[in-house]
A and B are shown apart, each in its own frame.
Chain A
């Protein structure tokens, strides 16, 4: 009888672990960019994660981050964007657009190259995200110049 309860307990623990493991999501983009380009990250507010970005410039490249700070780089540069959990939500939602989000894909990453006006592109993303019932956290990094970009992210949506 005691062993039956041990087995039940173990099965229960495994079920909980599977639920938690299925809440992890990974995203990845890579490619060559030129002109004015954007790395965009969108997530539901209940998601916590991080994005690791490596930029290998082919010439002079300027990075402009979400907080307005900028950096000129001439050799390979890596940085990590931490994405904190900013709220709780009851219910599910889905939005389309350049950074589509849904319950199955609560974290998304895009690399848009040669977008022309960065601010117009970012505004277009914000407009498509604005119709969401669930709050969205949007992070953008602008890249001015020619470079190879690899960005990969990992998050948990619980």
Chain B
């Protein structure tokens, strides 16, 4: 393989990596939208809770929802507090739906980020590759990589925490059933620990992939910094 073809190949690799950075940069911006979605869902949940509480005050309090009441408030349950309890429990659907919807929305938006515009230039071969390198704004690219790395890590952490909360809510129902029917009490800290364990096991491949990608971003930034310094001082004839 000629040296020119080798350079074209390397530039192609670099551009593909920078496309990935472009996606991560978009992800950093989408994080703000994701945060807004989650916050709106929390506002909806609290408004719902307030409405249920005011309803309880207005109509007469029947029974507070929550695990201890499942077995201590039987007389009130018999008089028809199911509706109030169900209404109160429904509020949790808002952040759950927002979490799942938010992750889906972010993933969809990421897929729609336009990449690969450089392929046209690279078809010209070595001159196209050098032209691409010359047009690059190195400082801005390095800044983008830095921001992408942070955004990517934060998004992944938020995702894991969100799934953790979701798993906790899902596991909470068997927990309540366990208390009510089997009279087995499981500490909530243990439940939280179990939920985290479950999420980490289920997302272990994703976790490994994300960790590798953060390391790859680190290494890319290091190499690009070195390359940009060399490239700026070199002279090319195209």
> Do these two chains interact?
yes
Which residue of B has the minimal Cβ distance to A83?
B57
A7 touches B62 (CB 8 A): no
> Among the listed B49, B60, B73, B79, which residue makes an inter-chain contact with A28, where contact means beta carbons less than 8 Å apart?
B73
Hey, which chain A residues are within 8 Å of B64, CB to CB?
A: 26, 28, 152, 154
Interface SS of chain B: helix, strand, loop or mixed?
helix
Q: Quick check: B57 and A30 within 8 Å, CB to CB? A: no
Kindly state whether residue B234 has any CB partner on chain A within 8 Å. no
Those of B108-164 within 8 Å (CB) of chain A: none
Interface string of A145-158 (1 = CB under 8 A from B): 00010101111100
* A61 → B minimal CB distance (Å): 15
Q: How many residues of A contact B (CB 8 A)?
A: 32
Cα separation A3 to B31 with both chains bound (whole Å)? 11
A7-B32, A54-B76 given as contacts; is B50 within 8 A of A20 (CB)? yes
- Contact residue among A3, A50, A150 (Cβ-Cβ distance under 8 Å from B57): A50
A49 touches B61 (CB 8 A): yes
Quick one: given A21-B46, A50-B61, A52-B61, are A154 and B32 in contact (CB under 8 Å)? no
Instruction: For the complex, count residues of B whose C-beta is within 8 A of A.
Output: 28
The answer for the CA separation of A52 and B58 in the assembled complex, in Å, is 11
- Say yes or no: B32 contacts A3, CB within 8 Å: yes
B25-45: CB near A (< 8 Å → 1, else 0) gives: 000000011011001101100
Query: How many inter-chain residue pairs (CB < 8 Å) link A and B?
Result: 80
A residues 18-64 near B (Cβ < 8 Å) are 18, 20-21, 24, 26, 28, 30, 48-52, 54, 56
What would 24 A/B residue contacts be, using CB atoms closer than 8 Å? Answer: A3-B32, A3-B33, A7-B36, A14-B42, A17-B46, A20-B50, A21-B49, A30-B72, A48-B57, A49-B61, A54-B75, A54-B76, A56-B75, A80-B59, A80-B60, A82-B60, A148-B75, A152-B63, A152-B64, A152-B76, A153-B61, A154-B61, A155-B57, A156-B53
Using a CB–CB cutoff of 8 Å, the interface residues on chain B facing chain A are: 32-33, 35-36, 39-40, 42-43, 46-47, 49-50, 53-54, 56-64, 72-73, 75-76, 79
